[in-house]
Structure 1
Amino acid sequence: MIDETHHALLKAAAESHDQLITRPAGLNARAAKALLAKLRKTALAVEVVVTEDEPHWHSDERGPIGLRLAPTGRESLGLDAGPDKAGTKSRSGTKQALIIAMLQRDEGATVADLMAATSWLAHSTRAALTGLRKRGMTLTKGCDAEGRTVYRLTDDATTEAR
């Protein structure tokens, strides 16, 4: 399924603290696009929004887009998949665990819902959402019946990148 080059990229990502796959130096845009597509198609990696100083493969309206090693990619290397399938393991009883539980509900949660549950201000609540994204979790945005923005935590392996 994966060749030596792919294996080496995945292994290097597994050994890094951020689990980001670094685009090989000298790889032209066409080859990079093909490699990116293969890693995503095989669910070995997921696209994530990264900062300018982090390894990235391309940019779009969201900003620089990197590739993060998915649980499937870790398993292909013979490593454990991580805390759990969506990478959402957290100490029970914490505000972070509460936020994760609210985001995993079918109806998701609005920023106002999260603020009410945690007693945090809007900027702290949004920072917590950013922190979840940086941990490799995939958050999707949608609208509820009243037109409010609703966030949901979804499984990396089955959801398109934000």
Structure 2
Amino acid sequence: MSRMLVDKDAIRALADILTETGLTEIEIAEADSRIRVARGSTVVQAAAPVAAAAPATGSVAEAAPAVANPEKHPGMVPSPMVGVVYLTPDPASPPFAQEGQTVSAGQTIMLIEAMKTFNQIKAPRSGVLTKFLVETGQPVEYSEPLAIIE
């Protein structure tokens, strides 16, 4: 029977990354070993602002189906990486794109900061940017829906 060695320092470092970024889980794999650190309490906290934002006046029922399951929307733009979203190049500048604006394929619509590097997220297709599904400063995970382009 082989005994598995646990790298407690690596687990602590991954837990610190979860805390710093607000992510719900992180995993690293190296040769024969794999470490996955996850926490469920962040999911509840992330869901609270969405629920708090939902009770608005007027067309909440109309808007809910479009946002209810953005993963299945054919115009969904997924996050290519884990990081923090920025909708403007800097705090004093206007956004790269706005909801309702026509965007061209390859046009920068936002940035994702990952490991102190700002990565341009470009529109994968031309169309109307109908909805941003993220806000500036929001941490995102790989494949998380960022926007809808129709």
TM-score interval for Structure 1 and Structure 2 normalised by the shorter chain: 0.3 to 0.5
The two structures have a TM-score, normalised by structure 2, of: 0.32
The two structures have a TM-score, normalised by structure 1, of: 0.31
Q: Which has the higher helix share?
A: 1
Greater RCO structure (CA 8 Å; 6+ sep) = 2
